[in-house]
Structure 1
Amino acid sequence: MAAVDDILQSLPLDRLAQQVGADPQEVQQAAQAALPALLGGLQANAQDPGGASSIVEALGQHDDDLLQGGVDLDQVDQQDGEKIASHIFGSNEEQVYSALGSSSSASGGLIRRLIPILAPIVLSYLANKVLKGGGGLGGGGTTPQTSPDNSAQGGPGSLDSMLQDVLGGALGGGTATQQAPAPTQQTQGSAGGSIIDILGGLLGGGRR
């Protein structure tokens, strides 16, 4: 999953590990479970027109290039991240954390501490892709931003449509189809699709 890899490469894992009180390798494994969950939750919510419009509106508030030149954790608002996670997972938030903790090599407690940090970073990443047409991190472009009012139509070329395309690309490909019956630390981390499969119907309960 290119989006997960892009975000992971921009994270200062050593400092993040210090912040959450864990080993860098554990943090990386937890992030490899948490990031697909956040992206999958956003994708599920975006299937609903109201959900897509809410996400586009949120992207407009997170157009801050957090990943430009590597993430500066001092710029990440964890309280905002908690609100984002609540909006993404809705009433299923606790069940999502429980499922991630029981199905991955990382503890549910660590994932719970990481998600409020990772959520604003994910939205900043998507804002760069959707609103700016950024082909790469901080890349790009100065593509004129479409008014959120125009995205409500949901047709081709609208921000809603672009959001769905970006999220579909973020979760597509990779090694999602190469799932072992009992994922090890490595396979669980590399097969983001298996995280989505495990969460299943828990996703899509976010704000409309």
Structure 2
Amino acid sequence: MSAVDEILSQVDINQLAQQVDAQPQEVEQAARTALPALLGGLEANAADPAGNASLQQALGQHSSSLIDGGVDLSQVDTADGAKIASNIFGSNEEQVVNQLGGVGGGASKGLISKLIPILAPIVLSWLVKQVTGKTGGATPSAQGGQAGSGGLGDILGQVLGGATQGAQQGSGGGAGNIISDVLGGLLGGGRR
């Protein structure tokens, strides 16, 4: 199962559609467009030493509880989600939303911009769960390490690299090439 499918399996698409006032099919398609960009942005930031340190700090401040047993959308802090997205995309955030708004079957920029602050905390919670699973339950902040040092940096690279590959291969249609073809150099613009 790809990371996108795994994350979406924890979200009630109908409830999410109600929250953003859109049709469930549109919301699922837009989420399948936005999630690879969030994962790819995290991967790009994890590849940079300063971005990796920032990501480790963010993981230490979040838990997997949001995604455990299915996401309760009333528990999603969209203000935190907006901060996470800003840290992931940096000054390129508006460009990323604009690019995503033109992908695939026409997920609107408005819908993408509503979904990103909701999906970002869910993605971070999913990532904490993946990392703690690979570290035997150790919290990300306890692991330490920089990119390439054999610690959390390598684990992040494995988890996010596999997630973005799965997103590119497994999401089908226009969303399959979002990370490499559409967003290209826009990812990795987060705080470093």
TM-score of the superposed pair, with normalisation by structure 1: 0.84
Distance of aligned partners of 1:49 and 1:72 in 2 relative to their CA distance in 1, 3 Å threshold: same
Deviations 1:167-197 (A, max 9, x none): 001112466399xxxxxxx6124x2xx0102
Distance of aligned partners of 1:5 and 1:201 in 2 relative to their CA distance in 1, 3 Å threshold: same
Partner of 1:70: 70
Q: Give the aligned length.
A: 190
8 Å Cα contact 2:11-2:71 kept in structure 1: yes
Partner of 2:137: 143
Distance of aligned partners of 1:173 and 1:70 in 2 relative to their CA distance in 1, 3 Å threshold: closer
Q: Equivalents in 2 of 1:55, 1:89: separation in Å?
A: 12
Partner of 2:182: 198
Partner of 1:114: 115
8 Å Cα contact 1:57-1:148 kept in structure 2: no
Distance of aligned partners of 1:6 and 1:199 in 2 relative to their CA distance in 1, 3 Å threshold: same
Counterpart residue identity of residue 198, structure 1 = V
Task: Give the structure with higher Rg (CA).
Answer: 1
Distance of aligned partners of 1:72 and 1:170 in 2 relative to their CA distance in 1, 3 Å threshold: same
Shift of 1:148: 4.7
Shift of 1:46: 1.1
Partner of 1:171: 164
**Percent of residue pairs identical:** 56
Q: How does 1:55-66 map to 2 (within 5 A)?
A: 55-66=55-66
Q: Equivalents in 1 of 2:170, 2:18: separation in Å?
A: 34
**DSSP-derived class of the 1:127 partner:** helix
Deviations 1:155-175 (A, max 9, x none): 11x111111111001112466
Q: Equivalents in 2 of 1:115, 1:99: separation in Å?
A: 13
Q: Equivalents in 2 of 1:153, 1:110: separation in Å?
A: 34
**DSSP-derived class of the 2:169 partner:** coil
8 Å Cα contact 1:130-1:163 kept in structure 2: yes
Counterpart residue identity of residue 195, structure 1 = I
8 Å Cα contact 2:33-2:103 kept in structure 1: no
Q: Equivalents in 2 of 1:177, 1:166: separation in Å?
A: 16
Counterpart residue identity of residue 125, structure 1 = W
**DSSP-derived class of the 1:170 partner:** helix
Partner of 2:8: 8
| Corresponding residue to 1:155 among 141, 149, 155 | 149
8 Å Cα contact 2:60-2:139 kept in structure 1: no
Q: Equivalents in 2 of 1:147, 1:122: separation in Å?
A: 17
Unaligned regions of 5+ residues in structure 1, if any? 135-141, 179-185
**DSSP-derived class of the 2:71 partner:** coil
8 Å Cα contact 1:148-1:159 kept in structure 2: no
8 Å Cα contact 1:53-1:152 kept in structure 2: yes
Q: Equivalents in 2 of 1:56, 1:173: separation in Å?
A: 22
Distance of aligned partners of 1:85 and 1:146 in 2 relative to their CA distance in 1, 3 Å threshold: closer
